[in-house]
Chain A
């Protein structure tokens, strides 16, 4: 079995795109009595286990084609050190 590495793809809403879920979470935080939270944005973390042969270019293509919808979302790819 070939060695695998962990990759994290962070997907977040673009600036300027209203985030109803983030806003609801913010209200819930305040409802619990916490103060001082100025803004909440909700995103998504996707973890992949990939063969060493998977290139950065291929990961970028996966994110661009499927993991993020670039009309509304940005993504950031991070290879996690073993």
Chain B
């Protein structure tokens, strides 16, 4: 295959952008372009765009709210509309919901506290371009580290997400009060995924596990198949 072209967006306050870039480079291959939030354009011919975790703009107003209105996000929204694969992790998930690329919102954890630990997830949909290297119902361990990870959407939206198979991952137990234990959701077209857990932190045994690796191999496999 031709080389995998990806970009990791860095907002002021992003702090998982390097981890994300290292994971993509390791699993998917390079080049991984690093793009600053103030850039109005993205590199040409991208296969994959990742929005990393962190505390963009200090979580001012609402987590992800300011970043979602930054110049680069207009380009990300356009790329997503063209079908480019877009992943948002943690703060990146919050940015995707604030930008309207994914339904719902991420509220303060129901238990008020910041949660930072490994959690068990189940793969709810193993047919997406992000999850095809997992099996349906597979239990995996991925760390979370967030204060605002409590996924909320109205019942009609939740029913639609579940009915259309757009829930990608669920927490195996209640972690933060999320509606129906949703940990990650896809957009209707299936090319945008947002998730609170950090797959880029579980890439090799030295991380304590490598359950996150299959997400990145799935993305590469999806492009080869396309």
Contacts and interface: CB of A to CB of B under 8 A. Distances in A.
B69 to A, nearest CB: 6
Interface centre among A24, A66, A69 (most CB of B within 10 A): A69
B110 A69 contact: no
B112 A21 contact: yes
A66 B107 contact: no
Contacts of A66: 61, 65, 69
A20 B65 contact: no
A18 B105 contact: no
A21 to B, nearest CB: 6
Contacts of A72: 105, 107, 152
Contact of A71 (B104, B112, B150): B104
A20 B112 contact: yes
B107 A20 contact: yes
B115 interface: no
Interface of A: 17-18, 20-21, 24, 66-67, 69, 71-72
B119 interface: no
Contacts of A67: 61
Given A18-B110, A66-B65, A66-B69, A71 B177 contact: no
Contacts of A20: 107-112, 150, 177
Interface centre among B69, B107, B111, B177 (most CB of A within 10 A): B107
B153 interface: yes
B152 A71 contact: yes
B93 to A, nearest CB: 14
Nearest to B176: A20
7 nearest A-B pairs in the assembled complex, by CB-CB distance: A71-B105, A72-B105, A20-B108, A24-B112, A20-B112, A20-B110, A69-B105
Contacts of A71: 97, 103-105, 152-154
A17 B111 CA distance: 15
A69 B69 CA distance: 13
A24 B105 CA distance: 20
A18 B177 contact: yes
